[in-house]
Amino acid sequence: MVLRLGIDVGGTNTDAVILRDREVLAGVKSSTTEDVMSGISAALEAVIAKAGVARDAIDVTMIGTTHFTNAVIERRHLDPVAAIRLGLPATACLPPMVDWPEDLVEMVGGHRYMLRGGYEFDGREIAPLDEDELIRIAGEITDLGIKAAAISSVFSPINRDMEERARDLLLQHCPGLSVVLSSEIGRIGLLERESAAIMNASLLSLSDHTVEAFGRALRESGLNCPFFVTQNDGTLMAADTVRRFPVLTFASGPTNSMRGAAFLTGVKDAIVIDIGGTTTDVGALQHGFPRQAATVVDVGGVRTNFRMPDVFSIGLGGGTIVTGGPDDLTVGPKSVGYRLTTEALCFGGDTLTTTDIAVRAGMAEVGDASKVQSIDPALVDAAKARIAEMLEMAVERSRISPDPIPVIAVGGGSILAPERIGDLDVIRPENFAVANAVGAAIAQISGEVDRIFALEGTTRDQCLSAAETEARETAIAAGARADTLTVIEREDVPLAYLPGNATRIHLKVVGDMGDLNV
Amino acid sequence: MSDFKDKLWHLTEEDIDALEIGSGILGTGGGGNPYIGKLRARQSLREGYRLSILPIEALDDEARVVPLGGIGAPLVSFERLKEGREGLRCLRALEDRLGFKADAVGCEEIGGQNSMEPLITAGYADLPVVDGDGMGRAFPEMQMTTYAIYGHRSTPSVMCDPHGNAVCFEHAISEKWHETMARACVISQGGASVLASAPMSGAFFKRHAIPHSYTQAIGLGRAVMTARAQHDDPIAAICEREGGRHIFSGKISDLKRHFARGFNVGIASIEGLDNCRGSLGEITIQNEFLIFRRDGEMQVCVPDLVVVLDLDTGLPLTTEVLRYGQRIAVLALPCHELLRSAQALEVVGPAAFGYPDLAYRPMTEAV
């Protein structure tokens, strides 16, 4: 018997659940607070009390967070970044962030630098690293007061020496600068890997602050069990990894809510809409798992090449601000976020939100209904119509066939969902509001191998099976049950013109977390 | 050359978006990443260059058309991006070498990024690109263009890399030799260069190019975009437009890849899904998707097009983005008749790719 505490820290709400094996003992919802910590403390105190378990009986805590994704989507808490690419004279035609939305480029400062360096596919240097130029850039970084840099070098997933050399040189001239290397984050595909590194760099101070707050909240609540954070493929990573790589959590919210939705309903094929406080994520559930995007995934309008579920996010949630009158109505994309319970009309504030519309329309009972009675019914109708239209568009985009599969509505904001979306029925499971936390609590353990193997004197199949054995052992050591392990990624990329017929093998297995005492 | 200015089709950003999809489909997995090409084309539009297509019928018989395209490994094209003006340097060097002025740029290969390269280069040179190409799809080697098959001698030619290196291939005793020399050279240039071939006459182009391939690719892209917007099946839209067939649906269960002779070669095994459950598909890859077999039996092969799409979105996949577990649809589209003559099949039929025992059977005849 294993007791797991799952916590989901969203932009608006912090949810917590306690699971005993496959049974949801208790689920609670509380507001996300500006300091993050007190919201987590409140949620876990409430859920522990509700479940009636001793806190030292809890075996493990899993935290899912959409904090970093929301920061990018809402363009908030992003630090300016020096985006430094080593590759000239190649790559000059497409500068860093060339395919980013303009406002996001402005947010991170638009500091793009291209200099000589990088590798050819066969290991030759495109050009030696232009150290003088890098030192000049370091001076500019200091003058501008930029605190973070992202370095991307051509073919760094195969050879990261130059990225590392550039980082060391930068740190010499800019002590205290946070530097992210593209080779630590992504794989081949320069623009996508570089974009991920830049976004990661822009999120570092937020992630540092956030992970610190998570840890403190757990300690102060007397929880001494291990603590993990869920990443975008639904598996877990150690807290310190998140501190350095917040982008790896990017799609964990949708993954957790979809896996939670499947777990709570027992429905394996559906469209899941997760309506939070700030955004709605929509994705397709196939055989109980989120459908993976084929190639690249958009986050806040930027392409990245992580393996992620194919979800579509729209700026609609319970805290979304409604402006204008019945004829010139606008819903979002701005949101009051975690300040919903102080700023929304129904909570005594003075901002009109979608939650106020739902309360006025009798779709939900939250806050004080008397405070929204003055909203014009014509405005309510217009807002409801607009919300239904936004949801239908998002659901249609995720639909992959005309089959009438159900829509599962989860998340605190699912009070906004109508009974039907287009021609599809909407299911709202018990514990719908905390599906994310359930998804976090059932997150899996992975084991991964990403290394260069020499094929000389052996075969590709032997190397793949050696890599699989190693990945399985890693996963089992981390707590996975051997009988549940499955391979989710298996990739071998031959590296031409290296001695020994070298090939890079990337293999990942995932499985359920087993008895932690093993 | 007569005045054609009023006949030009100036592409918009939307046309470029459609071309990305359409050329991705016709690329049959190769031809480089069209997304990168699209970004470059869009960037040059935004910088004020005009990307223009000249209807093939409006081409003057005496016009001098310079065919041009990228050459190299797909993996390189989306990691070590181009400097940008490789093509323009090729064109200028060729003009200097031969003492002529180009009237238009020709496309070597409509598939993939190679549909964009001529547009970008022609934009910089303020020339149009003729609405046609040498393959009507993507093929891995230069001698596989209809230009070469029907007698155009592609040397002297010039190949440039991002560093500013330029190589002139003065003379090749055959198109295959030209290909072999260029392939050896592109490795030393870092694996992705641009090559401009000797000019051909407008009369030759009109007779031997695959006609209207830009119109076709952009139209195909638009059809997919429209189907997606209206929640119609994009796969059906593609088949209907091109007279093609959706021949397999499945999940990639193994992927073997290696480099050989500068090519990315491999085999993708596909476990059948839906109405293909219980069957095993297999795609042979050599930069492009060459052959599709179902349970060991050949269903479609070059020069007909083996197209791989994401099963759910209907968007084309290139060979390098295929992954274990991916759900894909395999389509067969018929090639242009210019590729089906005995003369053409010698160069682009299965035997030319190392499958002498495989007899080409046009997919239009198989049911």
Shortest Cα distance, chain B CAs vs residue A336, angstroms? 32
> How far apart are the CA of A125 and the nearest CA of chain B, in angstroms?
10
Q: How far apart are CA B16 and CA B8, in angstroms?
A: 16
Residue A288 lies in a domain: yes
Contact B37, B116 (CB under 8 A): yes
Query: Which member of B80, B258, B323 has the closest CB to residue A155?
Result: B80
How far A217 CA lies from chain B's nearest CA (Å)?
39
The count of other CB atoms within 10 Å of the CB of residue B7 is 15
- Contacts of residue B3, defined as CB under 8 A and 6 or more positions apart, other chains included, come to none
Inside any domain, residue A255: no
What residues in B contact A295, CB-CB < 8 Å?
310, 317, 321
- What pLDDT was estimated at residue A61? 92
Query: How many Å apart are CA B114 and CA B68, to the nearest integer?
Result: 9
Q: Do A491 and B324 touch (CB under 8 A)?
A: yes
Answer yes or no: are the C-beta atoms of B239 and B245 closer than 8 Å.
yes
* Cβ burial, residue A296 (10 Å; 0-12/13-18/19+): middle
At a CB cut-off of 8 Å and minimum separation 6, what does A494 contact? A501, A502, A503, A504, B257, B258, B259
Query: Are residues A97 and A103 in contact, defined by beta-carbon separation less than 8 angstroms?
Result: no
Measured between alpha carbons, how far is B221 from B24 in angstroms, rounded to an integer?
9
Domain of A243, CATH number, reads: 3.30.420.40
Judge if A245 and A347 occupy the same domain: no
Q: Using the beta-carbon criterion (under 8 Å), do B43 and A94 form an inter-chain contact?
A: yes
| Cβ atoms of A278 and A453 closer than 8 Å | no
Which residues of chain B are within 8 Å of residue A487 when distances are taken between CB atoms? 324
Split into its structural domains, chain A has a count of 4
Instruction: Please report residues of B whose CB lies closer than 8 A to that of A503.
Output: 258
Name the pTM for this structure: 0.82
- Closest approach of A214 to chain B, Cα-based (Å): 35
8 A C-beta contact, residue B102 and residue B90: no
- Cβ–Cβ below 8 Å for B79 and A188: yes
CA dihedral over A506, A512, A513, A515, signed as positive or negative: negative
> What is the reported pLDDT for A69?
81
Helices (H) and strands (E) in chain B, counts: 11, 17
Burial classification of residue A225, based on how many CB atoms lie within 10 Å of its CB (0-12 exposed, 13-18 middle, 19 or more buried): middle
Name every residue whose Cβ is closer than 8 Å to that of residue B88 and which is 6 or more positions away in sequence.
B121, B124, B125
Distance from CA of A193 to the nearest CA of B (A): 9
B190 and A120 in contact by Cβ < 8 A? Answer: yes
Closest-CA residue to B208 (of B31, B347, B336): B336
Q: What is the CATH number of the domain that holds A424?
A: 3.30.420
Can you list the alpha helix ranges (DSSP code H) found in B27-158? 34-46, 74-77, 86-98, 116-125, 146-149
User: Minimal CA–CA distance to B69: which of B152, B151, B157, B156?
Assistant: B157
Taking CB atoms and an 8 Å limit, are B317 and A294 in contact across chains? yes
Per-residue burial over A23-36, b = 16 or more CB atoms within 10 Å of its CB, e = otherwise: ebbbbbbbbbbeeb
Residue type (1 letter), B77: S
Name the residue facing B39 among A99, A126, A155 (closest C-beta).
Answer: A99
Contact yes or no for A121 and B76 at CB 8 A: yes
Q: Does the pLDDT at position A499 exceed 60?
A: no
Beta strand A289-290 pairing with A311-314: unpaired
Return the amino acid letter for A470: E
Q: Which of A152, A497, A495, A156 is nearest to B188 (CA)?
A: A497
Decide if A399 touches B, using CB distance below 8 A: yes
A487·B39 Cβ contact <8 A: no
ipTM of this predicted complex? 0.87
Q: Exposed/middle/buried for B50, CB within 10 Å: 0-12, 13-18, 19+? A: middle
* Residue A257 in domain: no
Q: Do A90 and B313 touch (CB under 8 A)?
A: no
- Structure confidence at residue A268 as a pLDDT band (50, 70, 90): confident
Q: Is the pLDDT of residue B242 over 70?
A: yes
| Spacing of C-alpha A64 from chain mean position | 8
DSSP A90: T
Q: Would residue A498 count as lying in a domain?
A: yes
Mean pLDDT of chain A, nearest integer: 88
Residue A411 lies in a domain: yes
Whether the CB of A459 is below 8 Å from some CB of chain B: the reply is: no
**What does the alpha-carbon distance between residue B197 and residue B157 come to, in Å, rounded to a whole number?**
4
pLDDT of A515: 57
| Segment B101-140, tens digit of pLDDT | 999 999 999 998 899 999 999 999 999 999 999 999 999 8
Burial class (CB in 10 A: 0-12, 13-18, 19+), B280: middle
**Same domain, yes or no, for A177 and A290?**
no
Identity (one letter) of the amino acid at B134?
Answer: G
Q: Enter the tokens of residue A510.
A: 């995932």
**Do B215 and B291 contact (CB within 8 A), yes or no?**
no
Of the given ranges (A10-19, A191-200, A374-383), which has the lowest mean pLDDT?
A: A10-19
Nearest to A399 among B39, B231, B321 (CB): B231
B177 contact partners, CB below 8 Å, separation of at least 6: none
- Cβ distance of A487 and B164 shorter than 8 Å: no
Q: Exposure pattern of A256-287 as b/e (b: 16+ CB <10 Å)?
A: bbbbbbbbbbebebbbbbbbbbbbbbbbbbbe
Note whether A374 and A427 are same-domain residues. Answer: yes
Which chain A residues contact residue B80 at CB under 8 A? Answer: 87, 90-91, 118, 120-121, 126, 154-155, 190
Q: Name which of A85, A86, A93 to mutate to probe chain B: the one with the most chain B Cβ atoms within 10 A of its Cβ.
A: A93
Inter-chain residue contact A90 with B81, CB threshold 8 Å: yes
A225 and A289 part of one domain = no
Using a 10 angstrom Cβ sphere, with 0-12 exposed, 13-18 middle and 19 or more buried, the burial of residue A491 is middle
Q: Which residue of A has its CA nearest to B264?
A: A494
Instruction: Give the residue from A378, A375, A336 showing the smallest Cα distance to A353.
Output: A336
CA distance A48 to B76: 54
One domain, residues A281 and A383? yes
* Cα A25 versus chain centre, distance: 26
Q: Do B80 and A120 touch (CB under 8 A)?
A: yes
Torsion of CA A141, A142, A145, A149, to 10 degrees: 40
pLDDT tens across A430-470, in order? 888 899 999 999 888 888 887 777 777 788 889 899 999 99
Is the pLDDT assigned to residue A403 strictly greater than 80?
no
Please give the helix or strand (H or E) that residue A20 lies within, else none.
Answer: strand A13-20
> What range does the domain containing A40 cover?
1-76+206-250
Nearest CB neighbour to A93, from listed B40, B73, B315: B40
Q: How far apart are CA B135 and CA B336, in angstroms?
A: 9
Q: How many CB atoms lie within 10 A of CB A78?
A: 22
Reported as a single tens digit per residue, the pLDDT across A183-228 is 888 778 899 999 999 999 999 999 998 888 888 889 988 898 888 9
Domains of chain B: 5-213 (3.40.1610.10), 233-366 (2.40.390)
Give percent of chain A with pLDDT exceeding 90: 50
Residues A114, A66 share a domain:
no
> Which of A88, A98, A115, A120 should be substituted to probe chain B, the one whose Cβ sees the most B Cβ atoms within 10 Å?
A120
Rounded Cα distance, B321 and A295, in Å:
7
Q: Do A121 and B79 touch (CB under 8 A)?
A: yes
CA-closest candidate to residue A194, choices A207, A205, A206, A180: A180
Rounded mean pLDDT of B82-108? Answer: 97
DSSP-derived letter for residue B324 is T
B281, burial (CB in 10 Å: exposed 0-12, middle 13-18, buried 19+): buried
Question: What are the residues facing B193 on neighbouring strands?
Answer: B71
Minimum Cα–Cα distance from B252: chain A residue:
A490
Q: How far apart are the C-alpha atoms of A447 and A169, rounded to whole Å? A: 34
Contacts of residue A233, defined as CB under 8 A and 6 or more positions apart, other chains included, come to: A255, A307, A308, A446, A488, A508, A510
B63-74 residue pLDDT tens? 999 999 999 877
For the record, the structure tokens of A452 come out as 């260069």
Q: State the Cα–Cα distance between residues B314 and B312, nearest whole angstrom.
A: 6
Does residue A258 sit within a domain?
Answer: no
Distance (Å, whole) CA A112 – CA A101? 15
Contacts of A195 in chain B (CB under 8 A): none
Mutation pick from B39, B44, B80 vs chain A, by most beta carbons of A within 10 Å, is B80
CB contact under 8 A, B190 and A90: yes
Write out pLDDT tens, residues B284-337.
Answer: 998 789 999 999 999 999 999 999 998 877 889 888 778 777 789 999 999 999
- Which of A386, A410, A432 is the last residue in one of the domains? A432
pLDDT category at A402 given cuts 50, 70, 90 is low
If asked whether residues A289 and A421 sit together in one domain, one would say yes
Among A98, A295, A395, A489, most B C-beta atoms within 10 A, so best to mutate, is: A295
Q: Mind telling me how many Å the CA of A446 is from chain B's nearest CA?
A: 17
Residue that the structure tokens 């198989």 belong to: B366
Residue A265 φ/ψ, nearest 5 degrees: -100, -25
Helix (H) or strand (E) holding A259: helix A252-265
Q: Do A232 and A258 form a contact (C-beta atoms < 8 A)? A: no
pLDDT at B366 over 70: no
Q: Which of A216, A250, A284 is the last residue of a domain?
A: A250
Residue A448 lies in a domain: yes
pLDDT, tens digit, for every residue of A87-116? Answer: 999 999 999 999 999 999 999 999 999 999
CB contact under 8 A, B310 and A489: no
Residue recorded with tokens 């490994």: B73
Q: Are residues A125 and A172 in the same domain?
A: yes
In this structure, the answer to whether residues A425 and A277 fall within a common structural domain is: yes
Whether residue A89 lies within 8 A of chain B, CB to CB, comes out as: yes
Q: Burial level of B291, CB count in 10 A (0-12/13-18/19+)?
A: buried
A126 touches chain B (CB under 8 A): yes
Domain closes at, from A387, A409, A432:
A432
Compute the nearest-CA separation of B97 from chain A (Å): 25
- Residue in A with minimal Cα distance to B189: A120
- Do residue A138 and residue A231 come from a single domain? no
DSSP 8-state code for residue A80? P
Is residue A12 situated within a structural domain?
A: yes
What's the pLDDT band for A295 if we cut at 50, 70, 90? Answer: low
Contact A498, A449 (CB under 8 A): no
Chain A closest CA to B196's CA: distance in Å?
A: 19
Q: Could you check whether the bond before residue B156 is cis, i.e. omega within 30 degrees of 0?
A: yes
Strand order in the sheet with B297-301: B297-301, B288-294, B280-286, B263-272, B245-260, B327-333, B305-310
Minimum-distance CB partner of B312 among A188, A190, A291: A291
Residues A187 and A274 both lie in one domain: no
Which of A89, A188, A487 has the CB atom closest to B164's CB atom? A89
Residue numbers in B near A467 (CB within 8 A): none
Q: Are A91 and B82 an interchain contact pair (Cβ–Cβ within 8 Å)? A: yes
**Would you give the DSSP letter of residue A291?**
P
Task: Please tell me the distance from the alpha carbon of residue A353 to that of residue A312, in angstroms, as a whole number.
Answer: 22
Q: Are residues A119 and A236 both part of a single domain? A: no
| Chain B residues with CB within 8 Å of chain A CB | 36, 39-40, 43, 73, 75-76, 78-85, 162-164, 187, 190-191, 231, 255-259, 310, 312-313, 315, 317, 321, 323-326
Q: What is the pLDDT of residues A303-348, one digit of tens each?
A: 887 777 888 888 899 999 999 988 899 998 888 877 888 999 999 9
